[in-house]
Amino acid sequence: MTVVQGHAASASPPVVSRDQFGRAIEYLRISITDRCNFRCRYCMPLEGLPWLPKADILSYEEIAAIVGQLAPLGLKRLRISGGEPTIRPQLASLVRMLRSIEGVEDISLSTNGVRLPAMADDLARAGLDRVNISADSLRADRVVEIARRDLDFDLVRSATAAEHAGLSPVKVNVVVMRGINDDEIEDFAALTRTHPWHVRFIELMPVGDLRELTWDHVLPSADVLERVRRLGPLVPDRGPARGNGPAAYWRLGDAPGTVGVITPMTHTYCETCNRVRLTADGRLRTCLFGDHEVPLRDVLRRGEPLTPHFLRALAEKPKEHALLQMQVGGLRALSQVGG
Ligand code: SAM
């Protein structure tokens, strides 16, 4: 692990923190709640999970204080996630606090989109840059079947609200499940012909307590792309200009949007991993699918500096995760670790 000052001649040299394998760590995903208004079949049991007590959860001021100490170490891209972040009150006030922190270049939000039509303008005004909306169906009845809550979610309405608020680029994340929603792959891809949206198909991951979902429901992304090609030839594309993570992108002719695939089950991205995660109760996790974590909350509450703990976390960040070797179950649900 190293902290390196950048170009000596520039006025304020960028700082880069590297982990023990030399990967530059610049991206922090912040889970602000473990709760969710959906109960997606692949993510959360119908009865919910044992929720964190309120006193254990970081306040917005504490989250901002943590980011304020880590940004000077090179963390410049933030993603607010959960659980469902839009159900925590006053989300815009957190965005405003994060926006004012020097060194923060990009703030995005992962959301199920239910509350976006009501919140997008406020969030944009507070300084949010962009959103990723999770949507597993375009059909109202099927949304309810998968999310097991009827909250009148409509992807086109939510993505349009985000686009009109200037939250750009709009990315849409679809978890593909064989026999459950894979017949909608072409409908999702077709959206990119009429909207400047980036639809990314994600391989189902056997994490959490999936019960009725198994490896048989995992549809490899190569098969997804075969289905998309039924609409027309796919041209490899750079994808959205901002915030490209592990997705690979294509474009259908001269469509305004792109189609992407994220392939956690058939590939790993560990060698280019640039991220760490902060759980709602203030633990810094260095790998989504590993147990390694460094608690920050109590250090912060004692008024001690976080830097040594952050640097230790980077020194211990594992080389790769073991997801592909794991069987179904056993790992924590993504809602608990700010997936
Ligand atoms: N509630 C927010 C949302 O819906 O985007 C943020 C949290 S949610 C846990 C983050 C993402 O993880 C969503 O896109 C969700 O579909 C995805 N996810 C959760 N469990 C998954 C699984 N078992 N396999 C693949 N993706 C999963």
pLDDT tens digits for range 262-304: 988 777 788 889 999 999 999 999 988 778 899 999 999 999 9
pLDDT above 90: percentage of residues in the chain:
77
CB of 310 within 6 A of ligand 1: the answer is no
pLDDT above 70: percentage of residues in the chain:
88
pLDDT at 13: 62
CA of residue 82 to ligand 1 center, whole Å: 9
Residue 7 has pLDDT above 90, yes or no: no
Which of 170, 175, 198, 262 is the best mutation target for the ligand 1 pocket, counting ligand atoms within 8 Å of the beta carbon and taking the most?
175
CB of 205 within 6 A of ligand 1: the answer is yes
Q: pLDDT tens-digit profile of 59-99?
A: 999 999 999 999 999 999 999 999 999 999 999 999 999 99
CA of residue 11 to ligand 1 center, whole Å: 40
CB of 224 within 6 A of ligand 1: the answer is no
Nearest CA to ligand 1 atom 13: 134
The token pair at 157 is 């309405």
CA of residue 243 to ligand 1 center, whole Å: 18
CB of 112 within 6 A of ligand 1: the answer is yes
Nearest CA to ligand 1 atom 4: 112
Residue 137 has pLDDT above 70, yes or no: yes
98-112, 224-238, 321-335: least confidently modelled range = 321-335
At 243, the pLDDT band (50, 70, 90 cuts) reads low
pLDDT at 288: 83
The token pair at 47 is 């009865």
Average model confidence (pLDDT) for the chain?
Answer: 91
Nearest CA to ligand 1 atom 12: 339
In angstroms, the CA 221 to CA 201 distance is 7
CB of 49 within 6 A of ligand 1: the answer is no
At 337, the pLDDT band (50, 70, 90 cuts) reads low
Nearest CA to ligand 1 atom 15: 134
Average pLDDT over residues 135-153: 97
Report pTM: 0.94
CA of residue 176 to ligand 1 center, whole Å: 11
At 1, the pLDDT band (50, 70, 90 cuts) reads low
CB 92 within 8 A of CB 126: yes
Average pLDDT over residues 233-241: 92
CB 293 within 8 A of CB 281: no
Residue 330 has pLDDT above 60, yes or no: no
Average pLDDT over residues 20-40: 96
CA of residue 305 to ligand 1 center, whole Å: 32
At 329, the pLDDT band (50, 70, 90 cuts) reads very low
CA of residue 339 to ligand 1 center, whole Å: 6
